Amino acid sequence: MNPNKIIKGKRPTFYETPGVDLLMHMVMVLAQEHCAMRDRLDTIERLSERKLAVSASNIEAYVPDQAVLEERELRRQKLLENLFSVMTQEAAEISAKDTRERFDTLIDELATDS
């Protein structure tokens, strides 16, 4: 995406706290750039292992095979898991609490109905 391109219309918001959506966007852009640089470094390492010159043309010409693509995807998934681990943990805690509260309420309701 062109960083100078202006997107028309209002951006969707997901968080109530002002600025959190912008911060999340910036974090995701940095994660995207990190993944691109990590893939490029992986390409450089693979060229070096093959004793090929590490040049811009060799880097751009490199075409990863399916195994390499899968390895890179796994690395991206692990990065995203780490990136969102706090949010995933918080969601699980909220879900568990909600489930426990509903369970307790249901038990109370059943006990009073009998």
Q: What is the pLDDT of residues 47-66, one digit of tens each?
A: 999 999 999 999 999 999 99
Cα–Cα distance for residue pair 18/21, rounded to 1 Å: 7
20-49 helix and 66-83 helix, angle to the nearest 10 degrees = 150
Region 42-46: mean pLDDT is 98
Contact 28, 39 (CB under 8 A): no
DSSP state of 8: P
Region 21-27: mean pLDDT is 91
